[in-house]
């Protein structure tokens, strides 16, 4: 019974993702999600209190895998520059995940402009990633691989770079080898933040 | 007569920008633009062959001021690092211009996903800016202020950073002092690309 229920929940999410993406959030009704997924309204409301809850769950599911991966990569790296470079390499998975989801992402953004509760959920990941990177930069400064840059600003810089590369990669996939651009960009930033020779052992590659 | 005609054209553009932004491109008809701007259909079609032409003109008007400013800044700076930093400082004008235009920008993006001719116009500025920055980086390498980084990749990096900062600044204006973040980010990149003391013509990577 438990398995069946989990299947139902996932089917609602999959169908809703497709409908929101094709038709938009506003033009998609709960009745239509139920029809297309072969689920009763009772079953729908058993899993989700509202259409908006489904929408927000899609956003969270999208990013939760990324969170886990980033944390693991940061923990496994020998120092902060290696961690940042390893995360840049893993951005290729973000490109893959983003492909075909642009319309859904734009729907999130449009709804975020209209509904404060959607907005809060929509910006939460950026703030979380910024904090995540700020802490990594702090660690790099503490371990001596980075010079004393401002961790908050460096965190914003890393998130901005990631957002910009994904936006461009999704908009214009053939304009560049975006995974290579990402690595190269992070490499430049690492060199800009690296501890200076003389001040401590230089670590530029 | 000429002045009057230019006024009419601009009124059509202003009214269309508001309607596209409020209701979306698809839901806005030429008749509605004419009504709201007090212009006859004949006058509309005298200025614009189609609703889409108005849409694309709005995109071009938005960016043409930025192009002029960037070129002037690049020419007036004493060297490439100063030029990049001056452009980072001028990004505050981009934030101001972007404010309140998010819905219109999202409309462009949505339509770009559906119509190849809109897509082409929508991505053109990114490609243009990337080339613009790639040439500046080349100049910096030639003048000896930058080491021999890849100009194409560095150009993509600068555009990605700008896009990412604007997206985040628009989404979450109070999360940071975004103009300061922009300057700080470009400063880090400049230091990552800077010619190394002693080295010159070093070609790490």
Neighbour-count burial for B117-148, b at 16+ CB within 10 Å, e otherwise: ebbebbeebbbebbebbbebbbbbbeeebbbe
Whether the predicted pLDDT of B19 surpasses 50: yes
Domain A1-49 and domain A56-193, same fold? Reply is: no
Q: pLDDT category, A162, cuts 50, 70, 90?
A: very high
Helix pair A80-98, A116-143: axis angle to 10 deg: 150
Q: Please name the helix (run of DSSP H) or strand (run of DSSP E) that holds residue B105, with its range, or none.
A: helix B102-114
What is the per-residue pLDDT for A99?
67
How is chain B split into domains, by residue range?
1-49, 54-193
Q: How many helices (H) and strands (E) does chain B have?
A: 9, 0
Whether the predicted pLDDT of A200 surpasses 50: no
Structure tokens at B77: 């700076």
Contact across the interface for B160 and A156, Cβ inside 8 Å: no
Contacts of A162 in chain B (CB under 8 A): 164
pLDDT tens digit sequence for B24-33? 888 899 999 9
What is the per-residue pLDDT for A204?
44
Q: What is the mean pLDDT of chain B?
A: 88
Higher pLDDT, A186 or A27: A186
Contacts of B160 in chain A (CB under 8 A): 160-161, 164-165, 167-168, 181, 185
What is the per-residue pLDDT for B200?
44
CATH 1.10.357.10 fits A56-193, yes or no: yes
A122, A109 contact by CB (below 8 A) = yes
What is the per-residue pLDDT for B60?
84
B71, B145 contact by CB (below 8 A) = no
In this complex, is the C-beta atom of B177 within 8 Å of any C-beta atom belonging to chain A? no
B16 closest CA partner among B107, B94, B97: B107
Q: pLDDT category, A115, cuts 50, 70, 90?
A: confident
What is the per-residue pLDDT for B201?
44
Higher pLDDT, A196 or A202: A196
In this complex, is the C-beta atom of A163 within 8 Å of any C-beta atom belonging to chain B? yes
Contact across the interface for A126 and B172, Cβ inside 8 Å: yes
Whether the predicted pLDDT of A100 surpasses 90: no
In this complex, is the C-beta atom of B113 within 8 Å of any C-beta atom belonging to chain A? yes
What is the per-residue pLDDT for B99?
67
Structure tokens at A114: 């209209």
How large is the average pLDDT for residues A79-95?
90
Higher pLDDT, A197 or A139: A139
Structure tokens at B105: 């920008």
Q: What is the maximum span of chain A, computed from C-alpha positions, in angstroms?
A: 69
What is the per-residue pLDDT for B58?
86
| Cβ neighbours of A163 (radius 10 Å) | 21
Contacts of A122 in chain B (CB under 8 A): 171
pLDDT tens digit sequence for B73-121? 999 999 999 999 999 998 888 777 776 677 778 888 888 888 898 899 8
Whether the predicted pLDDT of B18 surpasses 60: yes
Q: pLDDT category, B204, cuts 50, 70, 90?
A: very low
Higher pLDDT, B157 or A114: B157
Q: How far is CA B171 from CA A7, A152, B106, in A?
A: 34, 18, 12
Q: pLDDT category, A98, cuts 50, 70, 90?
A: confident
Q: Which CATH architecture describes the domain B54-193?
A: Orthogonal Bundle (1.10)
Give percent above pLDDT 90 in chain A: 59
CB pairs under 8 A between A and B: 147
How large is the average pLDDT for residues B128-137?
96
For the domain bounded by A1-49, which CATH number is listed? Answer: 1.10.10.60
Whether the predicted pLDDT of A11 surpasses 60: yes
What is the per-residue pLDDT for A152?
96
């Amino acid at each position: 019974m438990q398995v069946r229920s989990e299947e139902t929940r996932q089917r609602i999410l999959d169908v809703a993702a497709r409908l929101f993406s094709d038709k938009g959030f506003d033009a998609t009704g709960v009745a239509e999600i139920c029809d297309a997924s072969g689920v009763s309204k009772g079953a729908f409301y058993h899993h989700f209190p509202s259409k908006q809850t489904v929408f927000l769950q899609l956003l969270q599911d999208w990013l939760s895998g990324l969170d886990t991966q980033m944390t693991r990569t940061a923990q496994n790296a020998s120092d902060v520059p290696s961690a940042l470079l390893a995360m840049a390499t893993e951005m290729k998975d973000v490109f893959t995940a983003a492909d075909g989801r642009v319309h859904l992402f734009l729907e999130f953004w449009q709804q975020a402009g209209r509904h404060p509760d959607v907005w809060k959920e929509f910006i939460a990941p950026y703030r979380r990633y910024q904090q995540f990177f700020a802490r990594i930069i702090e660690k790099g400064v503490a371990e001596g691989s980075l010079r004393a840059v401002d961790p908050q600003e460096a965190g914003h810089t890393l998130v901005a770079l990631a957002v910009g590369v994904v936006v461009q990669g999704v908009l214009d996939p053939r304009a560049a080898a975006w995974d290579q651009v990402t690595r190269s960009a992070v490499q430049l930033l690492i060199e800009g933040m690296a501890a200076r020779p003389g001040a401590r052992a230089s670590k530029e590659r």
